[in-house]
Amino acid sequence: LAEKVICFGELLLRLTAPGRELLLQSGRLDVHVGGAEANVAVGLARLGHGTAMVSRVPANALGDAATGALRRFGVDTGGVGIGEGRMGLYFLSPGAGLRPSDIVYDREGSAFALAGPDAWNWEALLDGADLLHLSGITPALGPRSAEAAKAAAAAAKARGVAISFDGNYRAQLWNKWDSDPAAILKELVGQADILFGNHRDISLLLGREFSGDGPERRREAAEAAFGAFPGLKLIASTARHVTDADTHRISARLDGREGWAQTEERVVAGIVDRIGAGDAFAAGILHGMLNGHDLNRTVHAGLALTCLKHSLPGDASLFAERDIEAFLAGELDVRR
Amino acid sequence: LAEKVICFGELLLRLTAPGRELLLQSGRLDVHVGGAEANVAVGLARLGHGTAMVSRVPANALGDAATGALRRFGVDTGGVGIGEGRMGLYFLSPGAGLRPSDIVYDREGSAFALAGPDAWNWEALLDGADLLHLSGITPALGPRSAEAAKAAAAAAKARGVAISFDGNYRAQLWNKWDSDPAAILKELVGQADILFGNHRDISLLLGREFSGDGPERRREAAEAAFGAFPGLKLIASTARHVTDADTHRISARLDGREGWAQTEERVVAGIVDRIGAGDAFAAGILHGMLNGHDLNRTVHAGLALTCLKHSLPGDASLFAERDIEAFLAGELDVRR
Amino acid sequence: LAEKVICFGELLLRLTAPGRELLLQSGRLDVHVGGAEANVAVGLARLGHGTAMVSRVPANALGDAATGALRRFGVDTGGVGIGEGRMGLYFLSPGAGLRPSDIVYDREGSAFALAGPDAWNWEALLDGADLLHLSGITPALGPRSAEAAKAAAAAAKARGVAISFDGNYRAQLWNKWDSDPAAILKELVGQADILFGNHRDISLLLGREFSGDGPERRREAAEAAFGAFPGLKLIASTARHVTDADTHRISARLDGREGWAQTEERVVAGIVDRIGAGDAFAAGILHGMLNGHDLNRTVHAGLALTCLKHSLPGDASLFAERDIEAFLAGELDVRR
Amino acid sequence: LAEKVICFGELLLRLTAPGRELLLQSGRLDVHVGGAEANVAVGLARLGHGTAMVSRVPANALGDAATGALRRFGVDTGGVGIGEGRMGLYFLSPGAGLRPSDIVYDREGSAFALAGPDAWNWEALLDGADLLHLSGITPALGPRSAEAAKAAAAAAKARGVAISFDGNYRAQLWNKWDSDPAAILKELVGQADILFGNHRDISLLLGREFSGDGPERRREAAEAAFGAFPGLKLIASTARHVTDADTHRISARLDGREGWAQTEERVVAGIVDRIGAGDAFAAGILHGMLNGHDLNRTVHAGLALTCLKHSLPGDASLFAERDIEAFLAGELDVRR
Amino acid sequence: LAEKVICFGELLLRLTAPGRELLLQSGRLDVHVGGAEANVAVGLARLGHGTAMVSRVPANALGDAATGALRRFGVDTGGVGIGEGRMGLYFLSPGAGLRPSDIVYDREGSAFALAGPDAWNWEALLDGADLLHLSGITPALGPRSAEAAKAAAAAAKARGVAISFDGNYRAQLWNKWDSDPAAILKELVGQADILFGNHRDISLLLGREFSGDGPERRREAAEAAFGAFPGLKLIASTARHVTDADTHRISARLDGREGWAQTEERVVAGIVDRIGAGDAFAAGILHGMLNGHDLNRTVHAGLALTCLKHSLPGDASLFAERDIEAFLAGELDVRR
Amino acid sequence: LAEKVICFGELLLRLTAPGRELLLQSGRLDVHVGGAEANVAVGLARLGHGTAMVSRVPANALGDAATGALRRFGVDTGGVGIGEGRMGLYFLSPGAGLRPSDIVYDREGSAFALAGPDAWNWEALLDGADLLHLSGITPALGPRSAEAAKAAAAAAKARGVAISFDGNYRAQLWNKWDSDPAAILKELVGQADILFGNHRDISLLLGREFSGDGPERRREAAEAAFGAFPGLKLIASTARHVTDADTHRISARLDGREGWAQTEERVVAGIVDRIGAGDAFAAGILHGMLNGHDLNRTVHAGLALTCLKHSLPGDASLFAERDIEAFLAGELDVRR
């Protein structure tokens, strides 16, 4: 188990229509804390790792609630500062059957997005850290956030702290400002030890396509990435086929420089909440990596956590090691 | 888009057991407005058409709520009068798995059923109307309602307003009084431009069976109906196979005098609320027809809306054009 | 009853902690539509007046819900445009006992605030209007909104439409930009026929204090306002004493140029929701004024509606004329 | 404790707006079983008496729920038959502050109202009974129900079973048909051993007014009633002053032929649910009477139960003897 | 229909996380009454049989609620005594998708477990009884409960009352004390007329394995049991395959001495609540047996009730005969 | 602000009937974490103090939820161990009007109660601590807990850590075992620096009565306590008068050796949740004491926090310094 994994990114509150209703069909909302990096922090904390969130929220009941929710699940929030700006929000109508889930983002002007690279004292925050986890959402939020992401990665690199980077490419965010996503992302991936992303993410980074399909294409893309980014040690990705909003099929893959591991495809039916499944996957992979497990065991932990996440309301995986084990052992009936 | 589609029929309040419970298993009920014709009105209004409801409710909080619910979704309720009688109710235990949904009707003595043919000033109501939509439920409610339905259809016919008629055959209602459903329905269908009904509805109207099965039988029945009702231009129907309360398979068909269009069958799994799916189909078909789309595009809009309706609590389709497009484009994962 | 009262202002969604909890103490929120001017529109519509809202919302489920909520209660929303920007929000922890209610505003960057004076076609909107109702919140939102408020008032004045103005002074909003509230408010009040405000509002406008206390001070302030604003015909205000969050005492006053009317003080205990009580008062006063009632009857309608509003969840008065009559008749036990 | 108290009357379902909302303000309803006589049955059963309900409900989930709710609280429902007709309903908006509670009745055509005097086998039902409790609601429902009430009373009288009659005068019900309430009620009260009613009820029965006020007027009326109805042994009544929907003041009185007992007035603040308070009073009085307690102890049990009922959601008193004792002992802080 | 079926066992309250959440993920719990034998009692009562529960609960609101819940559904609770000890509880996180349901038991020190064999007067309780139903949970609770179970069975045997025994083997309970489960269970099964259990239960009783698989193994085990227990007339069991928490496949089998009946396998998808499915099966089998139906009709009633139970929140089957018929007739779409 | 305040005691989950219902009147429960000492920990943490809980919970979802709830509000839970036993529970029916709140305790066999004095490593836990807070509940739980309380106090005393002791005398707990409460409590109070308790608590400790009433009696008792316990520096108490479940009057008092401070009496109306008010008082007093405030400022902070607590669902005060200030400044209307 890690002593201290730092997750850096925006905290969001998710406001969800209950009971498979459309947003505000009736006047009720359920609130969960979210944000890609925060979900990883919670997921790892529940697996027993020491985790710490670095972010910024406004000085009001919303910021307070978001921070408290992380603390509840064991995440250290000493690095969550208070600053000018709003609480980032998003509104979700969960899908059902042939109706997809629908998200209305309302994150502009957030305290996190308004903070610049100097908002955090990385020297102190990184002290004793095992890993820094970042995602491609932070640099997409605007030039100040892009600088902040680069500053965080540079500080980690300088102190020899390993870096995990989840691509999470969001075109709409990048399109809102005069951005050069490929350049910025390349700089960040260039410092990473582990990358979460599939062949499409790598195409974007390297400006080339990968032909073929399935595992072969993924391996080809991985090898190209390993060539382009000498510090990169692992590339993790999932493949998802969507039957309808309630049933997906998912497999997971983990590429190392020397080899790879690929899981079977699992049918995930009866989906309760699909949001955060990618973050749960990241938590599962990092769990294996931090524990020094091999590629195969690690990729199955990632598959387990992403599959299990679909069964749970809220953005974050709340599962423990025993849940991963039960999943891998095929335990599906009532546990008494 | 139409300027004014008039939907004439009874407004109902639906009182539903929450959380897949049986009725009053715990002491809570969720309330939605319903009624077959009102569902069509809401469905069309959400697609951008001008729609107006013509009905009658009691002068109390229940009638007020039903009327307000239609207004909320953009339906003009100037034609919803106030009169003696109760608010029509029905109670629903939504099915689950191998347990079917169960309805307890409580609509006797409603303000709508007590109103006779003179309760509405059709001359004023039909002014500027593109279409009048009726269903076979209204004439089944009793002799006064049968007269009211005939008066509405006659007034529309006299003013050259197109008529849409949804069979909605309800034997229990017809059986409660000394009725001749075939005669009354024939008179109404005889004035209709579009009929919602399958071969069984046509058998009832024409007093003959159609052999064979599937599309052929449907075409044979449609041609018989076109022969019997010279004013009829379109016949629309769905075919539904029920695996269990959570999973159905649905296809749609639209017959014109010159040709037809038939969709593939879609699996509708993870059903949230099956009530009103036929009304959503009618709204989708009328949407295509009012927009002048061809048979194929129109029948797919009908299929889209009926499939999507199963994903939504409440009786009415609340979907917009963009939802139909997403459905037809196969978009099933989270829309951000 | 008026044919058409236009209310111009921002639409807000209020997200409220349920069950007297603090905000996000548990993860649920109840949503109501709000906004001072929208509350007046709903209040008047429920009393039978033709009312129309003029505002702007974003093209998403939030804007759609806010507009639909007004329509539900009978407000014409043809003048609610769609535009760039967010939906204005505010979060409420309702008070209890000795704990005051607490509001977190989150309205910056709203579609309404971003709209400038040219966002609405006032010529068309004011056609056939009896009255335009504005409040001091709109000009406080920023320079563009201040221009928009002035443009609306000028257009009404030019067409001979009477103007109602509710002071609603919000120092925090004015302080956020380089504003001159007294100058802007004076210009707006200078065009108004009726002003909602007490001696403190008038002090702010005229730059002078009023000594004494109670009704005398209010009369002195009213006479000063009548002197300064020759077009002003009526000044309406309430006086509120707060025992605790559950119990207030309220009296109402209406000053004309020739005379005044002043109600007794009513104890309002068991407060359910205090938000929007001022807007309910405005609706009650406008109701009397639009019906041509005398000062005394009018001020009692205002008192009735503001007192009754405290008993109702949500921002707007939903009461009918019969509720005002029952209040004034002292009916307090179960109505069967 | 009694072996068998029979309560005869209509069972109703009450559908209540939650959270002090107006009816259907949001689309949720809470359901409780009610009906004046059923409330007495539940109240007595919870105090330990053997009680049995005699009524009639429809053969559907609503009738089943109403019957089950009585059984849950210990009432024997063997005498609740199944018959044609609807389930009687009523809808409640609970009041708050200066807004009174509002009821919409929807009980016409109920299975109970449609049943005539032959619907029950009184010989079997009354076997072993200590008391038959009736109210003035049953005969008001229509001529068939009036006959049914008379038949029940006559059968009890014939078998020497004591009769309790609660006036519960409902003008709206009597006005719906060609009725002679005074004559019918006199016949029923003429067979009663105990009457629940105040001087106004007695005025109606005897066709005369009682002057003076307070206890004196009540005694004068009681003595007149004792004179007119030789079989009458006890007359019980409450006096209620309504400050607002949340605060009432209540006192209770019990007149015997030889003497009387009168309680002090209690302030009942923080009212949760005022419906059924009269029925709780009746249960408290009958409890004392069936236990052979003296007038003073009996009237205080009645006061206790009626005051306590205001604290409880639902129509019926659910209190036990120890709650009455705690009330009379003034225990008001947390019981651990 | 039976006059009196006695179910003897512990009453439990089940506290369930709502909305597919983990336990206490948000701070709400839904409460149902449970306990294997109580579920059978409710299931039979809803099918029209006279049933009576024999148990013991504490003298507080929890015990009262559990008892009332049984009464509501028609179970006689005169045999539910009051005694020292707690109310037995269990907490449930219902599973979803690939996450299994999870139970936290909290039943130690319950009033039922503390009661010894002398806590009930079996002579009186068994008077007029058709059947006594027991399960293997009661003797597993501890030595006093094991004695109580044996005393109940012996008393029934002595009076010629048939005995039904549901294996319900719970290793955790037996492991908590110095127990000899096989010996105790053999004594109880030796007195039973019908046994609910499959080849694994029989292996445990007889100390031998059964090879092969499917129906053959079940028949072999049944014949071995019939050989070992001369009084045994019927052995009933289900076979369940778990796809995920939402979808199971179930078949049922009933072995008599002369023959057997075996159902097809049904897919039970969209599972709402899997708890109590075995008890529903027992109720269905006992229903057929008490009605004198043949093996085939009886086993299909068992299959119907166990399949239907999965669609219902709460522990007990609430279905009526008409629901069994609709299931066997394949009615799956809305019943109007 | 303190660096580290340690609160030692049992963690409980409170299961509360919602909506002023009786326990399990409908089948829902709201869950909050409680326990007298935990409430103090949360109260102090929300005021900005470093706080740490020392307790023991079972290794299941209930223990996990209790611990997480403390963490959410900023309490360090590193000292909350895992052990054999149950989670302590209690069930609450909140009172209303003239019906008192009612508690059913279900805490026997809890993991905390089963732990003995060696369950915690006090040397490590007390490292760097400013204060240890204990209450009279822990020693009342049984002989092992009494030993644990004494061990904690002795360890604090040995390390020079100040001790705060809240009397919280619970006769029912002491009566369950062969206890000598006065002796044990005297030993603990003898080591305390601050005692929460009134003249009745002191009477119990010293075995003598104090005559007179009001502040004089309290001073006399305080002086007696200061005489008997030389280490005691402060004695804090409240006086409460209960009008009904919704309205109490409260004053606070703080006695030092040299002087005292006494507040006015405040009317606390509209009570939402009275549980934990004493713990909130303790938190307020400790807040002042830890900040070095004078007696008067300290006692008013205690009064503020106890009054405010009544407005909040749940057991613990969640208020910040600004809420105390607003209370003392008399701010009662909406804070925007």
User: What does each of the 336 residues of chain F score in pLDDT, given as a tens digit?
Assistant: 999 999 999 999 999 999 999 999 999 999 999 999 999 999 999 999 999 999 999 999 999 999 999 999 999 999 999 999 999 999 999 999 999 999 999 999 999 999 999 999 999 999 999 999 999 999 999 999 999 999 999 999 999 999 999 999 999 999 999 999 999 999 999 999 999 999 999 999 999 999 877 889 999 999 999 999 999 999 999 999 999 999 999 999 999 999 999 999 999 999 999 999 999 999 999 999 999 999 999 999 999 999 999 999 999 999 999 999 999 999 999 998
Tokens representing B313? 């609590």
Chain B contact set for D93 (CB, 8 A):
61
Which tens digits make up the pLDDT trace of A227-266? 999 999 999 999 999 999 999 999 999 999 999 999 999 9
Q: Is B31 on the interface with C (CB under 8 A)?
A: no
ipTM, two decimals, is 0.95
Kindly state whether B208 is in contact with chain D, defined as any CB-CB distance less than 8 angstroms. Answer: no
Q: Searching chain B, which residue's CA lies closest to the CA of residue E316? A: B25
Known catalytic membership, residue D279: yes
Measured in Å, how far apart are chain A's first and last C-alpha atoms? 28
A314 torsion bin: left (phi>0), alpha (psi -120 to 50), beta (else)? left
Q: Would you call F28 helix, strand, or coil by DSSP?
A: strand
Helix or strand or coil: residue C73?
coil
Catalytic residue numbers of B read 279
Q: Tell me the shortest Cα–Cα distance from E105 to chain C, in angstroms.
A: 26
Chain B residues inside the 8 Å CB shell of C68: 72-74
A327, E25: Cβ pair inside 8 Å? Answer: no
What is the CB-side half-sphere exposure of residue F138 using CA atoms within 13 A? 32
Say if residue C213's pLDDT is above 80: no
* Chain A residues whose beta carbon lies within 8 Å of the beta carbon of residue C102: 61
Check residues E215 and A28 and name the one with the higher pLDDT.
A28
Residue C104 CA to residue A62 CA, distance in Å, equals: 9
Give yes or no for C26 touching E (CB within 8 A): yes
Contact, D93 vs C325, CB < 8 A?
Answer: no
E198-209 pLDDT, tens digit per residue, is 999 999 999 999
Return the partners of chain E (3 or more C-beta pairs < 8 Å).
A, B, C, D, F
C27 touches chain A (CB under 8 A): yes
pLDDT category at B212 given cuts 50, 70, 90 is confident
Reported in sequence order, the residue ranges of C110-219 that DSSP labels E, i.e. its strands, are 131-135, 162-166, 194-196
Asked if the C-beta of B60 comes within 8 angstroms of chain F's C-beta atoms, the answer is no
The alpha carbon of residue F135 is apart from the nearest alpha carbon of chain C, in Å, by 27
Residue ranges in chain D modelled with pLDDT below 50: none
pLDDT band for B158, please (50, 70, 90 cuts).
Answer: very high
Q: What is the mean pLDDT of residues C184-212?
A: 95
Q: Which of F193, F273, F279, F315 is catalytic?
A: F279
Tell me the shortest Cα–Cα distance from D27 to chain A, in angstroms.
7
Please answer yes or no on whether C332 and D22 come within 8 Å at the CB atom.
no
Kindly report the average pLDDT of chain B as a whole number: 97
pLDDT digits (tens, 9 = 90+) for E95-152: 999 999 999 999 999 999 999 999 999 999 999 999 999 999 999 999 999 999 999 9
Give me the residue label for tokens 């209703």: A21
Closest F-chain CA to B27: F26
Most B CBs within 10 Å, among E311, E324, E325, to test the B interface: E311
Q: Which of D193, D273, D279, D323 is catalytic?
A: D279
Report whether pLDDT(E242) > 90: yes
pLDDT confidence band for B336 (50 / 70 / 90): confident
Chain E residues closer than 8 Å to B98 by CB: 266, 268, 307-308, 310-311, 327, 332
Which residue of chain F has the CA closest to E102? F61
Q: Tell me the mean pLDDT in the region C256-274.
A: 97
C101 contact F CB<8A: yes
Residue that has been written with the tokens 């109390």 in this structure:
B60
Chain C's closest residue to A64, CA to CA, is C24
With 0.95 as the threshold, say if the pTM is over it.
Answer: yes
Distance from CA of F310 to the nearest CA of D (A): 13
Residue E150 near chain F (CB below 8 Å): no
Question: What single-letter DSSP state applies at residue D119?
Answer: G
Q: Which of A42, A70, A71, A80 to mutate to test the interface with F (most CBs of F within 10 A)?
A: A71
A165 pLDDT exceeds 80? yes
Tens digits of residue pLDDT in C61-117 = 999 999 999 999 999 999 999 999 999 999 999 999 999 999 999 999 999 999 999
Share of chain E above pLDDT 90, in %: 98
Distance from CA of B16 to the nearest CA of D (A): 9
Residue of A nearest to E97 (CA): A270
Spatial distance between the Cα atoms of F323 and B243, rounded to a whole number of angstroms: 58
Question: Alpha-carbon distance E130 to E77, whole Å?
Answer: 17
Given a cut of 90, whether residue C312 has pLDDT beyond it is: yes
Beta strands in A41-161 (DSSP E): 51-57, 76-82, 88-93, 102-106, 131-135
Task: Provide mean pLDDT across the span B42-66.
Answer: 98
Cα torsion for E50, E54, E58, E59, to the nearest 10°?
A: 50
Chain F residues whose beta carbon lies within 8 Å of the beta carbon of residue A72: 68-69, 71-72
Of F307, F313, F336, the CB nearest to C98: F307
C16, C20, C99, C240, best to mutate vs chain F, most F CBs in 10 Å: C99
Residue D38 DSSP SS3: helix
pLDDT band at A46 (very low <50, low <70, confident <90, very high): very high
Does the distance separating the beta carbons of C103 and F334 come in below 8 Å?
Answer: yes
Q: How far is B15 from chain F (nearest CA, A)?
A: 19
Helices (H), chain F: 36-46, 61-72, 111-114, 122-125, 137-140, 143-159, 171-175, 181-189, 199-206, 214-228, 277-290, 295-309, 321-328
Chain F residues with CB-CB distance to D270 below 8 A: 96-97, 244-247, 270
Q: Is F26 on the interface with B (CB under 8 A)?
A: yes
**Cβ neighbours of B28 in F, within 8 Å:** 26
The reply to whether B68 touches chain C by the CB within 8 Å rule is yes
CB contact under 8 Å between A313 and E19, yes or no, is yes
Helices (H) and strands (E) in chain B, counts: 13, 14
Please give the pLDDT value at position E212: 79
Catalytic residues of E, which ones?
279
Predicted pLDDT of residue E214: 81
The radius of gyration of chain D's CA atoms, rounded to the nearest angstrom, is 19
Residue type, C161: V
Q: Contact F270/C97, CB-based, under 8 Å? A: yes
On chain B, the residues whose CB falls within 8 A of the CB of F17 are none
Per-residue pLDDT, averaged over A157-161, amounts to 97
